[in-house]
């Protein structure tokens, strides 16, 4: 890598981080498709614009970015799975990840075979890649409070887990299309063992060993918060490398590692989850910029009558299938419509179809161009649809609040706690209101704190400053318990805090 290329790569990473950070609030409020923004950034930086970034399908940098992006998104989505919630909605999960994923892949495969005259293995690769829904485009939607819990769970499960179901189809299709001819039966069987057994087993062991070791060391010696946040990436990379070294699938290993960590339910600081998710999102957006610099626009070069018809089938078949399949799910009609409609194709599809490109499978570049066409249309259709839905949901919220007397469902509930015998008739209450689920949290003055203490209410003062702030500031709140925010649940249990008392957090 030349000095100019290295500097350009660093500049690209810096641009992605700066833009994503500055626009995060606007994207969250407006629902604008973040992916579209970064595709346009890539176009501006690419050969057709400023000429600062130019990546080809043969570029080693693209392979590294795409591999790390897919690895991290599989790991972070798996680690975010709420196992208890999945158990409660296991019928919904089975319908979405079973027929809701495999039937669209099969129908897209048939369309690829007869509309585009692809071979069955090539059509299967394209069908599996385009049946994958994108977690980046869906992230703003599933975080919105107006989305029903069942719809949020269904979309999150599908976008986070259907890659694992579709990845083996892509790999087996690659074996059938390799340049030296179809793989013999023993090689297919060996590869299948690596995919379905060896990779997940090694990943599960890496996840279990990594999180168990972290928990033991943290109990005995303590682990700094900043290093615990990096630990998540270490587990993901170790699981991937171990599986690839042993002939298994590193991607399935990373997913299995994250799933085991989620199932173990070990108490982790928020930074462990947040840093891994943020890192995955940065790599995914970086990949979109790389694609936007030139590669994704190759989809427009294959736009013809048959390919556009294929793209419409690829984008519409999922909605048709899920509209029928989810009738058997124990969810309301509104949730069914949301799940069925919002299934964007994005980076997950492109990363899956890039695997045969990196393996130099014959005809893989044509498959990639077709996938790019579908993804571009999906960004317009689904991305625009999500933005419009979020804007409509934002307009309906004030109406909901007015119908409910000024308090919307799920909004902060304010209650006033009085002494048992109540306030004196006609006397104004002097007790500050207690805000539940407040965002931002309610502030309490020292006078209000003393009033609660004098009245005899159970009040606990907690010093929740970060380690650096606590160490650098000589001031200490009187009678405050030291309570680092990254280990709050364990400390609360150890110190047997009163669950019905008032916790006052000191953080300045």
Residue 65 pLDDT: 78
Provide the pLDDT for residue 119.
92
pLDDT value for 343: 84
Alpha-carbon gap, residue 263 to 84, rounded angstroms: 9
Retrieve residue 502's tokens. 């008032």
Q: Is 119 exposed, middle or buried (0-12, 13-18, 19+ CB in 10 A)?
A: middle
Residue numbers in the chain where pLDDT is lower than 50: 3, 397-440
C-alpha span between 389 and 151 (Å, rounded)? 14
User: Which residues are CB-neighbours of 388 under 8 A, at least 6 positions away?
Assistant: 31
How far are the Cα atoms of 157, 200, 320, 332, 438 from residue 151, in angstroms, in the given order? 10, 28, 17, 9, 24
Neighbours of 350 (CB within 10 A): 28
**β partners of residue 463:** 482, 506
Domain ranges of the chain: 3-193+284-384, 413-506
Which structure tokens are listed for 430? Answer: 């002097």
Q: What is the DSSP string of 375-444?
A: HHHHIIIIIHHHHHHHHHHHHHHHHHHHHTTT--TTS-EEE----TT-PPTTPPP-SPPEEES-SSPPP-
pTM: 0.70
List the structure tokens of 76: 């972070």
The candidate with the shortest Cα–Cα distance to 292, out of 1, 135, 62, is: 62
pLDDT value, residue 226: 63
What is the full DSSP assignment across 5-36?
A: HHHHHHHHHHHHHHHHHHHHHHHHHH---HHH
Backbone phi, psi, residue 134, to 5°: -100, 125
Output b/e per residue, 64-95; b: 16+ Cβ within 10 A: ebbbbbbbbbbbbbbbbbeeeebeebeebbeb
Q: At what angle do helices 149-177 and 250-264 cross, to 10 degrees?
A: 150
* CATH fold of the domain at 3-193+284-384: Na+/H+ antiporter like fold (1.20.1530)
Rounded-to-10 torsion of CA 128, 130, 136, 137: -150
- The reported pLDDT for the residue numbered 107 is 96
- pLDDT of 375 reads 92
Task: Report the distance separating Cα 183 and Cα 163, nearest Å.
Answer: 23
What single string gives the DSSP state of each residue in 100-149?
HHHHHHHHHHHHHHHHS---HHHHHHHHHHHTPPPHHHHHHHHT-TTS-H
- C-alpha 116/C-alpha 125 separation (Å) is 13
Q: Which one, of 331, 357, 317, lies nearest residue 59 by Cα?
A: 357
Q: Which CA distances in Å does 290 have to 55, 277, 361?
A: 7, 20, 22
User: How far from 94 is each of 47, 234, 374, CA to CA, in Å?
Assistant: 45, 31, 26
For residue 74, give every residue at least 6 positions away whose Cβ sits within 8 Å of its Cβ, in sequence order, or none.
160, 163, 164, 251, 252, 254, 255, 258
Three-class DSSP category at 502: strand
Dist CA 133 CA 140 (whole Å): 14
């Amino acid at each position: 890598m030349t000095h100019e290329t290295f500097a350009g790569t660093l500049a690209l990473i810096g641009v992605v981080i700066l833009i994503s950070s500055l626009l995060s609030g606007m994207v969250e409020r407006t629902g604008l498709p973040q992916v579209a923004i970064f595709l346009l950034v890539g176009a501006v930086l690419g050969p057709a614009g400023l000429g600062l970034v130019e990546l080809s399908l043969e570029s080693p940098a693209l392979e590294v970015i795409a591999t790390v992006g897919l690895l991290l998104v599989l790991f972070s989505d798996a680690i975010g799975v709420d196992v208890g919630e999945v158990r409660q909605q296991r019928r919904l999960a089975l319908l979405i990840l079973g027929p809701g994923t495999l039937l669209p892949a099969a129908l897209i495969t048939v369309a690829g075979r007869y509309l585009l005259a692809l071979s069955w293995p090539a059509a299967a690769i394209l069908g599996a890649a385009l049946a994958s829904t994108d977690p980046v485009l869906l992230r703003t939607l599933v975080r919105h409070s107006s989305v029903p819990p069942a719809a949020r769970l269904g979309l999150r499960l599908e976008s986070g887990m259907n890659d694992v179901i579709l990845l083996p189809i892509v790999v087996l299709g690659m074996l059938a299309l390799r340049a030296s001819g179809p793989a013999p039966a023993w090689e297919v069987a060996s590869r299948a063992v690596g995919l379905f057994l060896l990779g997940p087993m090694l990943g599960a062991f890496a996840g279990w060993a990594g999180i168990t070791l972290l928990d033991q060391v943290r109990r005995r010696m303590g682990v700094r918060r900043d290093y615990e946040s990096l630990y998540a990436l270490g587990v993901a990379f170790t699981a991937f490398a171990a599986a690839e070294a042993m002939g298994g699938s590193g991607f399935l290993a990373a997913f299995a590692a994250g799933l085991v960590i989620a199932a173990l339910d070990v108490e982790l600081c928020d930074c462990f989850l947040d840093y891994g998710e943020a890192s995955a999102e940065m790599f995914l957006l970086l990949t979109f910029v790389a694609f936007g610099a030139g590669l994704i626009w190759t989809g427009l070069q294959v736009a013809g009558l048959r390919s556009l018809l294929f793209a419409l089938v690829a984008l519409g078949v999922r909605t048709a299938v899920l509209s029928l399949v989810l009738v058997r799910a124990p969810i309301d009609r509104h949730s069914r419509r949301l799940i069925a409609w919002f299934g964007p194709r994005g980076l997950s599809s492109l990363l899956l179809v890039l695997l045969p490109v990196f393996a130099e499978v014959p005809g893989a570049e044509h498959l990639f161009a077709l996938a790019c066409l579908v993804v571009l249309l999906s960004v317009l259709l689904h991305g625009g649809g999500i933005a419009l839905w979020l804007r409509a949901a934002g307009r309906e919220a004030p109406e909901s609040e007015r119908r409910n007397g000024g308090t919307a469902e799920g909004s902060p509930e304010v209650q006033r706690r009085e002494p048992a015998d109540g306030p004196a008739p006609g006397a104004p209450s002097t007790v500050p209101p207690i805000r539940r689920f407040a965002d931002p949290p309610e502030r309490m003055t020292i006078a209000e704190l003393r009033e609660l203490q004098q009245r005899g209410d159970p009040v606990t003062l907690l010093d929740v400053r970060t380690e650096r702030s606590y160490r650098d500031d000589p001031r200490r709140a009187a009678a405050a318990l030291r309570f680092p925010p990254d280990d709050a649940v364990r400390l609360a249990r150890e110190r047997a805090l009163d669950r019905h008392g008032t916790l006052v957090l000191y953080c300045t």
